[in-house]
Homo-oligomer: A and B are copies of this chain.
Amino acid sequence: MNNLSHLQDIPPKAARFCLSVQEFLEGELGLSLRGTHILTAFSGGVDSTTLLLLFKLLSSRLGCTVSAAHLDHALREESAAEAEHAAKICARLGISFFSTRIDVGAFASERGMGLEEAARTVRYAFLEEQRQRCNADYIALGHNLNDLAEDSLMRLSRGTGWPQLAGMQAFNPERALLRPMLMCSREDIEAFATGLDVKWVEDPSNADTRYTRNRMRHELLPLFMRENPGFLNTVATRWRLAQKDATFWDAQLAKLIASAEQDTEGAYTLSAPKLRMQHTAMRLRLFKILLERLGPGQVRADSLFRLEETFQRGEGGKTLQFPGDKRVVLSSRSITFLPKKK
């Protein structure tokens, strides 16, 4: 791992890999990173090491500056040594590095949370805190196409609707998250890292099938790959189709939401006759978004269907309850979404 500042310094195949990521960011996501500061979540594994190298190699072309943040989850004996390894890599690449140690095991048992969920909660909070501290624009994450496949299988198992079913976002402006390698397979990432003679850390917990994510990786995904060796390509294509559908529905729903009146308590009221002119597919999504906006409490699809049926029957004076103490009041003239009483 020497002299990794320019695409000319690396083999053509590795350079093409870098350019495919630039094309994804700028061409497909339509995102310019010029003048931005990217904080990279850097575990020391192959994905985040590759991501860091990519930014190092592309930063002049993308016009951004890069820093790295490492969280020592304190879950394994080697974790302190791994944090040192991560620091050394950043020093050699000339990338500013920040690291901290949080006892995730203790956090999990204090809150009565599963280890997987606790690690995710602590990690994202740390990254966001560090992003604000160093005034970065985005947090870059090393998620790849295999992660996307695993994520979409988890969503399938949980019952997620479309288009969210196709998997995690590549760019989430609200949470300032960016996933530049979402269309790159793990195989291509490992080939890139190996080709540049990069050393990385293997997290042994990746093999632990007590974690949902790992069961997707080691049990479900291989079965789909056996049915269709091009399965990862179908995941990528389906994700791309879902992004188009997401922008379509977002635009349609934005118009409807804009037509809603919001009172000082945060309740939304829409005209029932106007809403009646919309298609059921649109109303079901609108109902879901408005209920989500009212605060915590997840709404299930069958409750949305029940709300839609009540709305279609057009009976006045009905009130339906939703999780999180939210209510929907229907009359023949209007439909009102009310948050939990304060």
- A residues engaging B (CB < 8 A)? 154, 156-159, 161-163, 165, 212, 215, 219-220, 223-224, 227-228, 230-231, 233-234, 237-238, 240-242, 244-245, 247-248, 251, 279-282, 284, 301-302, 305
CA distance A37 to B234 in the complex (A): 41
A246: min CB distance to chain B, Å = 9
Q: How far is the CA of A79 from the CA of B157 in the complex (A)?
A: 38
- Give Cα distance in the complex from A156 to B157, angstroms: 12
Please give me the residue from chain B that is nearest to A234 by CB atom: B159
Known: A159-B233, A161-B241. 13 other contacts (CB 8 A): A156-B156, A156-B224, A157-B231, A158-B228, A159-B230, A159-B238, A162-B162, A212-B227, A220-B220, A223-B223, A237-B305, A241-B301, A248-B281
| B251/A279 in contact, CB under 8 A | yes
Query: A162-B162, A228-B157, A305-B240 are known contacts. Are A279 and B220 too (CB-CB below 8 A)?
Result: no
In whole angstroms, how far apart are the Cα atoms of A230 and B251 in the complex? 33
By the criterion CB–CB under 8 Å, are A162 and B242 in contact? Answer: yes
A228 near B159 (CB under 8 angstroms)? yes
Question: How far apart sit A4 and B236, CA to CA, in the bound complex (Å)?
Answer: 52
Q: Tell me, rounded to whole Å, the shortest Cβ–Cβ distance linking A135 to chain B.
A: 35
A237 contact set on B, CB distance < 8 A: 159, 301-302, 305
Known: A224-B156, A227-B215, A228-B158. A245 touches B281 (CB 8 A): yes
- The answer to whether A244 and B280 have CB atoms under 8 Å apart is yes
Instruction: From known contacts A219-B223, A227-B212, infer whether A241 and B157 are also in contact, taking CB-CB under 8 Å.
Output: no
Docked-complex contact B158 and A248, CB < 8 angstroms: no
Can you name 10 A-B pairs with beta carbons within 8 Å?
A: A157-B228, A161-B241, A162-B162, A162-B163, A162-B245, A165-B238, A220-B220, A241-B301, A247-B279, A248-B280
A228 to chain B: which residues have CB within 8 Å? 157-159
Q: Which residues of B contact A301 (CB under 8 A)?
A: 237-238, 240-241
Query: Which 5 A-B pairs give the minimum distances between C-beta atoms?
Result: A159-B234, A248-B281, A157-B227, A244-B281, A237-B301
A248 touching B279 by the CB < 8 A rule? yes
Shortest Cβ distance from residue A9 to the other chain B in the assembled complex, whole angstroms: 32
Please determine whether A244 and B284 come into contact, CB atoms closer than 8 angstroms.
yes
**A227 nearest in chain B by CB position:** B157
**What residues of chain B lie closer than 8 Å to A154, measured between beta carbons?**
227
- Looking at the assembled complex, report how far the CB atom of A132 sits from the nearest CB atom of chain B, in whole angstroms: 35
Q: Taking CB as reference atom, which chain B residue is nearest A158?
A: B228
